[in-house]
Amino acid sequence: MKVLFINPVVRYFDEPRHVPLGILELMAVLERDHPQIKFQLYDANAFRVDKFEKNETEGLDEILQSEEFDVIAIGGLITAYRYIKVAINRIKQIQPHVKIIAGGGFFSAIPYDMMNFLPELDYGCVGESYQTLPELLYAIEKNEDVSYVKGIFYRKDGIIKFSEPRELIPDMDWIPFPAYKYAPLDIYFKNSGIIMSEESRKAKKRLDACMSLSCPFLCRFCWDLGVTSNTKIQLVDGKPEPTTGRPGGNSIVRQHSPKYFADLIEHFRNDFKDIPWDEEGNGIGEPIDFIALVDENVVAHDAQTGFTWLKGIKEELWKRDLIADCVKKGIPHDPNTCNGPHYGGSSHAGLVNKEMLKDMKDIGFTYLDYGLEHWDSKILRNLGKGTTREANKRCIEWTLESGISPIPNQIIMFPEEDWDTLNTMLDAWEEIKIVSSPFICTPYPGAEWYIKYKDHILDQYNGNLESFIIDLEDATKVTALLTKKFTPAEAVGIQNIMSQAAITGDFKNARRLLAYSKKMKEDQMITQKS
């Protein structure tokens, strides 16, 4: 059996920066446990030759015309749906016999809808596919009834069906290292630098890693991590759908052991020296110097293990001499002389403490990307994230004291947003002196607020859910708004005012512009009533 994995284009307006970890993990499982299954990867996100916005798929066409496949597996975030839709349609045009399997966040969030939107899809994997995909491939190869394969949507007699939930992987260390060697790493290395810290900005060979599955938090606007714990399917209007919202307290959060972490860093440091980052061969002989942890829960892992996880990692890395030179010597980082590795990750402000931050600094962490979201207490309470304005402020102060850069992610246009809450955010920026250009709150499918406000979302798209899905990219773009207090044009204007204040520090001017915008809106409403 021959399988083609496709990594779709995501963030087409930016350079390709992040390897497809989920696909690389699945390839590693097949390579280790199912060597009779032959596979290859077409990384459309890395190569960027498919002009999918024009329905042109030059790179994909070349692959499909050069070799026949039995199965094509495609998956990714729902923000890649535009490419996925074009690619699936093209696949069936060139190889109509091939079986297409979907997976990942774009499918698991709204599987029944995706089976309807994409009639070319034969199967879809819900949640974790480490065991589901190999079983499904065997069933396809043997031409068996696939209904016994847990965790899949499929078609039978023209009806979309769901088999039954797939149990979760109990031990993350069972999953092998992602098969990084199959990704076009030279392309990703060329775009290693990310503006999070001095070390990450000047990184020459950065790779991503994921240390956990699932998430313990209840954020009502979020879903992406919840896919791994959402195993329950219920009937909604006669259709099988995942249970709504984030699983939160029902999540089974799992993290790799400190030994796995250290083994992976040894793999990074030893096995990628022969890959350059440009055509001139620069980078040959150099190891991975920066690791970005992309699972957003570094601090939560530590809290869930009784604050032992990071200490275990620190012990393993120091024991194996896998600590950056500047950290070992206690001197400032010099990218010309320091032999890494350094780290960065995203985390939860409400769980940070000083001892934890010291451990992270001693490991080599240089930044922590915090989802602060907002500074208004009412909004924070309703988010379900379990943090407060005071905790966020304390977290920023402690992180700065530790020598780690705090990166504040902040969002506007929550359901309760009003002129007062916007000014509360400006007040906090001026007081705490840490700012960011705010994202727009986006109701991604699968989130609790997507379910709660679905009728309002559809109203903004004339009842066409797929049009909304096609529009989704990342939260820098205005799609459907959750708030009814501001129009999309007002949201964009306010986002620009806040972004300008974040860049210039001129909060007085931002307050003036907000006050003027508010007065204009009030005057307009009075005029309409009269």
Tokens 């210039």 identify what position? Answer: 504
- Polymer length in residues for the chain: 530
Query: Do residues 163 and 180 make contact, with C-beta atoms less than 8 angstroms apart?
Result: no
Q: What is the pLDDT of residue 340?
A: 82
DSSP state of 485: S
Q: What is the pLDDT of residue 384?
A: 81
SS3 81: helix
Query: Do residues 351 and 299 make contact, with C-beta atoms less than 8 angstroms apart?
Result: yes
Q: What backbone torsions phi and psi does residue 463 show, to the nearest 5 degrees?
A: 80, 5
Q: What is the pLDDT of residue 13?
A: 81
Query: Do residues 47 and 59 make contact, with C-beta atoms less than 8 angstroms apart?
Result: yes
SS3 4: strand
Residue spans of the chain under pLDDT 70: 224-234, 242-251, 474-476
d(CA 99, CA 114): 16
SS3 337: coil
Tokens 């708004």 identify what position? Answer: 481
Q: What is the pLDDT of residue 225?
A: 47
Helix (H) or strand (E) holding 241: strand 239-242
Q: What is the pLDDT of residue 229?
A: 53
Helix (H) or strand (E) holding 316: helix 309-319
Inter-CA distances, 489 with 118, 160, 493, 498, 521, Å: 32, 39, 6, 14, 12
Tokens 């779709």 identify what position? Answer: 8
Pairing of strands 254-255, 212-213: antiparallel
Nearest-CA neighbor of 488 among 33, 496, 105, 168? 496
d(CA 413, CA 456): 14
What ranges in 230-305 are assigned the alpha helix state H? Answer: 258-271, 298-304
d(CA 245, CA 527): 41
Task: Give the model confidence (pLDDT) of 110-129 as tens digits.
Answer: 999 999 999 999 999 998 99
